[in-house]
Structures are given as structure tokens and as C-alpha cells.
């Protein structure tokens, strides 16, 4: 049987164990349709979002702003309608430094492009602290040893690129 958005039915009629009244409704974010308890939907004004959208939505009580730290890097939540969504991992997050650089150049970054933190601080995502490199080969050739030797300390001491003084 095909149901229409806004149609109501009792639990037993739609295969639920409950005898409560339900309404067939669409999620306001992803447009997924499902049966929702009528009382919760209309009288309490809740359940406008499906369970998966409510977990990631800013109105949820577990929402932390869409920004978190993983492996030392700040990551930011992006949504399918965002022009930079193609850069997101499977869970919808993008490293913040890549997002800042993409917005600066005005296009999504390719997977092979590397964004380097000039001062070595992984959470310092100011555009003046970021450098875009076309591949990890260049990045690894020129910066890999610097991180092992304490790149942030070297930067503070006035050294940046293979022992050459940086321009301040």
C-alpha cells in the first residue's frame, strides 16, 4: 500500500505493535519519509527530523557545532548541499585546514593536493599559516625531516624550510 505524506493511521494498521496514532511524514533535512508518533510530531513539535539527521543537527542535544579534533587536526562537518562536500570523508567531515584552503582558492581540492601548516601547529588554520602543495611527494621531500626534528620549535627559532630563514 502506498502512503501519502500527512496521512495518519493507527499502529496496528501499519504493522507496529502499538495502538497509538502515527503520521506519515518527511524529514526536513534529508526528505526521508517514515511513520512518526502523531502525539510527538504535532502536539510536542518534535520529530521533524529522522533519527540520523537529528544526531548531526545543531538542534540536537549532542551537537557540538560540527567541529572536533581528530589525530591533532580540526575537522568540520559539511553537508551534501555544500559545494565542498566532495572533499568530505564517508562520515561527512573535512579537515578544517583543507576547507580553509579550498575556500581561499575558490574550488574543492583534489585528493592529491596537500595543505601544509607553515608553523607546524595542526590546529592553526589561518590562511596565512597554510601553503597548498600539488602533491605529497613535494611535501614529504621538503618537510618530513622537519617534523621529526621539532618543526614548530624550529619555526619559532626563525627556521622554516630546510634550515632557511622564513619570511616574517
Ranges of each domain in the chain: 8-56, 67-154
**What pLDDT digit, counting tens, does each position of 86-126 carry?**
999 888 889 999 999 999 999 999 988 989 888 888 888 99
Q: What is the pLDDT of residue 125?
A: 92
- DSSP code string of 63-128: --TTEEEETTEEEEE--TTSTTGGG--TTSEEEHHHHHHHHHHTSPPPTT-EEEETTS-TT---GG
- Give the C-alpha separation, 67 to 76, whole Å: 4
Q: What is the pLDDT of residue 163?
A: 45
Within the chain, which residues score under 70 in pLDDT?
1, 43-47, 52, 54-65, 136-168
Q: What is the pLDDT of residue 40?
A: 76
Nearest to 132, CA basis, from 108, 153, 149: 108
Model pTM score: 0.54
Q: What is the pLDDT of residue 142?
A: 58
Amino acid at each position: 500500500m502506498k502512503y501519502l505524506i500527512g496521512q495518519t493511521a493507527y499502529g496496528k494498521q501499519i504493522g507496529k505493535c502499538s495502538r497509538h496514532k502515527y503520521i506519515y511524514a518527511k524529514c526536513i533535512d534529508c526528505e526521508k519519509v517514515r511513520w512518526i508518533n502523531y502525539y510527538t510530531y504535532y502536539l510536542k513539535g518534535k520529530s521533524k527530523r529522522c533519527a540520523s539527521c537529528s544526531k548531526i543537527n545543531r538542534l540536537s542535544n549532542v551537537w557540538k557545532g560540527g567541529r572536533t579534533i581528530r589525530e591533532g587536526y580540526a575537522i568540520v562537518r559539511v553537508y551534501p548541499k555544500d559545494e565542498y562536500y566532495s572533499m568530505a570523508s564517508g562520515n561527512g567531515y573535512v579537515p578544517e585546514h583543507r576547507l580553509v584552503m579550498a575556500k581561499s582558492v575558490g574550488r574543492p581540492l583534489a585528493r592529491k593536493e596537500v595543505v601544509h601548516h607553515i608553523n607546524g601547529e595542526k590546529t592553526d588554520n589561518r590562511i596565512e599559516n597554510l601553503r597548498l602543495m600539488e602533491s605529497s611527494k613535494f611535501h614529504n621531500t621538503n618537510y618530513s625531516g622537519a617534523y621529526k626534528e621539532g618543526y614548530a620549535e624550529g619555526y619559532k627559532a626563525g627556521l622554516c624550510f630546510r634550515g632557511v630563514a622564513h619570511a616574517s
